[in-house]
Amino acid sequence: MLISLFLFWAMPAVGDKVDDEVMINLAWDSGCFNCHDVHKTLRGPAWLDVAERYRGDDTAFERLVVKVREGGSGNWGTVSMSPNRRVPMEDIHTLVAWLLTLEE
């Protein structure tokens, strides 16, 4: 958990386009865009919608890391999220932390 908190607080500012580009590339490399988009709902919810739903929820980071890693359903309708066990935990932590900072 300490690593998760460190990664969350160590994240660079999202307003910096270079950092956004790095995160987008990591998301592509991790296969996230097979089901998600930043702005629109595909098979899974838009990341801006996820960020809005969980903004201010202090427990969201850990719950979303588990959801991304293990998969599941029920939070965004009937479509289930596939597990992502091939994606390194460090990358999942980094991406979830970044996703939670997104704003329109």
Q: What is the pLDDT of residues 4-37, one digit of tens each?
A: 444 444 444 444 444 899 999 999 999 999 999 9
* Residue 81, both tokens: 């999220």
CB atoms within 10 A of CB 50: 22
Q: Hey, which residues does 81 pair with through a beta bridge? A: 72
CA distances from 83 to 12, 32, 39, 66 (A): 27, 11, 22, 9
Extract the annotated binding site. 32, 36, 81
Which amino acid, 29? D
Task: Answer yes or no: are the C-beta atoms of 4 and 65 closer than 8 Å.
Answer: yes
Extract the annotated binding site for heme c. 32, 36, 81
Question: Per-residue pLDDT averaged across 46-52, rounded?
Answer: 97
**Could you give the domains of the chain?**
2-99 (1.10.760.10)
Residue written as tokens 């988009």?
37
